Structure 1
Amino acid sequence: MGEPIIQIQHLFKTFGSGDSAVHALDDINLDIQQGEIFGIIGLSGAGKSTLVRCMNLLECPTSGTVIVDGQKFVWMEPDGAEGKLRCISERELRLARRKITMIFQSFNLLMQRTCLKNICFPMEISGVPAAKARQRAMELLELVGLLEKANAYPAQLSGGQKQRIAIARALATDPKVLLCDEATSALDPTTTASILDLLKDLNQKLGVTVVVITHQMSVIEEICSRVAILDGGVVAEQGKVEDIFSNPHTDAARRLVYPGGVSLEQYPTGTRAVRVAFNGGTAYQPLIASLAIDCGIKVNILGADTREIDGKAFGTMLLGLPDDPNDAAKALSYIRSQPNVSAEEVEYHG
């Protein structure tokens, strides 16, 4: 694997000072590879929007390094014990932002311009001749499936159509990275699915790297190959989506992956159970039925939070163990012998 297209190294961002200071980002380290769809997820206030705005310097970090496509945007230079933050010049940044563009939850379209002229706008700023800009804008309208809306105004579009125009505008400068800050949060589920399909299609056709900022785990499931989970300005976990879904290690990851939770707390003290984790099998095994048929042991389902990603099963299930110690041991052994399944015995003590 080559050099990452985005490198974030020891990034800190603090708003304010003294007792009222808010530490939005705390020692963030991320590598995002060329051509991947990378997700950044967290609850409200986790710091995810601040992080993405630091990637293109819409927000200047307090300290740390940001490198995009081999070019340093900000970096630390030795200056006493702590070092000093350096930034590229305004002119260099304007040019660099052509290769790392952004779409927003609120679309940010120019309401007095047609869809065609909205897409032409960044090319006009870059000095592209009008005829060439118009030709490119028409190509992008066709790419996002809205060629017939060239002369329509944003007020005449649905939310999904507005976001498609915003995506087309973001692609006008042929960027290498597309930053999506809660780009589907204002859309209904059906429209969200269509926008995610479009982003996947653009990723495959154009090779553009997509960074998705969201609080919706369903978006991560649908589109991302890798994910970083932010919690209180810190990267709690990062890795392949399927790995984190099959075995989240931190409380922050578990809250996002299994928001309903699978807990023994509502059961009497002394309740024994086995927590089963489905780790990406091709289909949900008829575990309960096969346990009864093969071992003659019946168990109760105390709780479950499972889902399917790319045809693979992930999630956890809490099964009440029989009172008989021999039957309980036999059931646990049988469950552990199944493919793509792991299990641990748990007991509620109140």
Structure 2
Amino acid sequence: MGTVSESIIQIQHLTKTFGTGESAVHALEDINLDIRQGEIFGIIGLSGAGKSTLVRCMNLLERPTSGHVIVDGKDMTTLSEKELRLARRDVTMIFQSFNLLMQRTCLKNVCFPMELTGVSAPAARKRALELLDLVGLADKADAYPGQLSGGQKQRVAIARALATNPKVLLCDEATSALDPTTTLSILALLKNLNETLGVTVVIITHQMSVIEEICSRVAILDGGVVAEQGDVQEIFSNPKTDAARQLVYPGGIRAEQVPPSSRAIRISFNGGTVYQPLIASLAIDCGVKANILGADTRNINGHAFGTMLLSLPQEPAEAARAIGYLRSQPNLTIEEVEYHA
């Protein structure tokens, strides 16, 4: 991770409304975010949560209805059009659809933003070749976008976004059109650029796997408001809102799954290093056999997060022994789950 220090983006009481009167759509309401210089910050939510509107407000491609967007000390909402064009060089963007110019070679695509800012052709070419090398495509300078794979197109788009030496790279669903292996390679590239260039990266996504792969902090959007925000590990270990729980535990960890007349507990894994032997240990150490009704666990940087739903024996002494044993284990939170028809 790049060196993280003071804020690079501050979003203060940002609201965005489309339309007026009864047909008005409130896309964003009272958004407050603080993104630190040098970090990889994630913004996640389901479709319609307002993610793309928010990221477009960050560089004023979409003008907020009210509120402030402060980037590197400048309030973007107060800038003139000329000042805004200059400020946008510091806040560049990559998209799900790549947005490359199909009639231009990869080299010419990367040169394009430098042409717009008056960089000489030789200097632009030299810088573009350096950037293509940086993203692993030095051999594709003369190729056209139509000759590239999706992952290669996104690498060219990243090189183009870096052409103005930005301080912030906004990634709007940048891996959504890519297969899982290619997604991992693009995320690894973004992480490397964050570490080597110090560029702040803002990831907009609906995929929790993207957040857990490279983000340090995350904000969860739900219906145009920030439902929850904080360190990724903290939110994974203890999601406090329904929106967060829906994203963190999408795989069947609900009380409705508990069969009638069963006694069940939900175990939350809060960052321990091992969770697989837990059920076996329960049987060996306590002589209690438990059934797994559902589980959604994941490994983040070698630590276990997620939940498991267990059905316990009906015999009260056995169940109490199991609960006592589990509560004595480190990095676990235990709660009983009641069945609701």
TM-score bracket, normalised by the shorter chain, equals: over 0.9
Aligned CA distance change for structure 1 residues 90 and 170 (closer, same or farther; 3 Å): same
Match of 2:168 among 173, 177, 187: 177
Question: What does 1:196-215 correspond to in 2, within 5 Å?
Answer: 196-215=187-206
Deviations 1:173-203 (A, max 9, x none): 0000000000011111111111111001100
User: Are 2:123 and 1:120 equivalent residues in the alignment?
Assistant: no
- Structure-2 separation of matches of 1:139 and 1:201: 15
- The AA in structure 2 aligned to 1:334 is Y
Q: Which moved more, 1:303-312 or 1:173-182?
A: 303-312
User: Are 2:140 and 1:149 equivalent residues in the alignment?
Assistant: yes
User: Are 2:159 and 1:168 equivalent residues in the alignment?
Assistant: yes
Q: Which moved more, 1:327-336 or 1:210-219?
A: 327-336
Match of 1:139 among 110, 124, 130: 130
- Structure-1 separation of matches of 2:27 and 2:274: 40
Deviations 1:308-340 (A, max 9, x none): 111111110111122121221111111011011
Partner of 1:66: 69
Q: Which moved more, 1:241-250 or 1:276-285?
A: 276-285
Say whether the 8 Å CA contact 1:270–1:349 is kept in structure 2: no
Q: Cα distance, 1:3 vs. partner?
A: 2.9
Partner of 1:29: 32
| Structure 2 stretches lacking a partner, 5+ long | none
Question: What does 1:1-350 correspond to in 2, within 5 Å?
Answer: 2-74=5-77, 87-350=78-341
Deviations 1:213-244 (A, max 9, x none): 00111111111111100000010111111111
Partner of 1:80: none
- The AA in structure 2 aligned to 1:66 is V
- The AA in structure 2 aligned to 1:269 is P
Count how many residue pairs are aligned between Structure 1 and Structure 2: 338
Alignment TM-score, normalising by the size of structure 2: 0.97
Say whether the 8 Å CA contact 1:3–1:33 is kept in structure 2: yes
- The AA in structure 2 aligned to 1:62 is T
Give the SS at the match of 2:289: coil
- The AA in structure 2 aligned to 1:236 is A
Deviations 1:53-93 (A, max 9, x none): 0000000000001000111112xxxxxxxxxxxx3100100
Give the SS at the match of 2:7: coil
- The AA in structure 2 aligned to 1:25 is L
- Structure-2 separation of matches of 1:288 and 1:185: 36
Say whether the 8 Å CA contact 2:266–2:309 is kept in structure 1: yes
Q: Percent identity?
A: 78
Give the SS at the match of 1:283: coil
- The AA in structure 2 aligned to 1:212 is I
Say whether the 8 Å CA contact 2:5–2:38 is kept in structure 1: no
Give the SS at the match of 1:35: coil
- Structure-2 separation of matches of 1:95 and 1:347: 58
Deviations 1:98-138 (A, max 9, x none): 00000011111111111111111111111111111111111
- Structure-2 separation of matches of 1:48 and 1:233: 8
| Structure 1 stretches lacking a partner, 5+ long | 75-86
- The AA in structure 1 aligned to 2:319 is A
- Structure-1 separation of matches of 2:274 and 2:38: 29
- Structure-2 separation of matches of 1:303 and 1:156: 45
- The AA in structure 1 aligned to 2:230 is G
- Structure-2 separation of matches of 1:265 and 1:108: 44
Give the SS at the match of 1:338: coil
- Structure-1 separation of matches of 2:257 and 2:161: 50
Say whether the 8 Å CA contact 2:258–2:264 is kept in structure 1: no
Deviations 1:228-270 (A, max 9, x none): 0000001011111111111111111111111123123244333
- The AA in structure 2 aligned to 1:121 is F
Say whether the 8 Å CA contact 1:116–1:138 is kept in structure 2: yes
Q: Cα distance, 1:285 vs. partner?
A: 4.5
Say whether the 8 Å CA contact 2:258–2:338 is kept in structure 1: no
- The AA in structure 1 aligned to 2:141 is A
Give the SS at the match of 2:255: coil
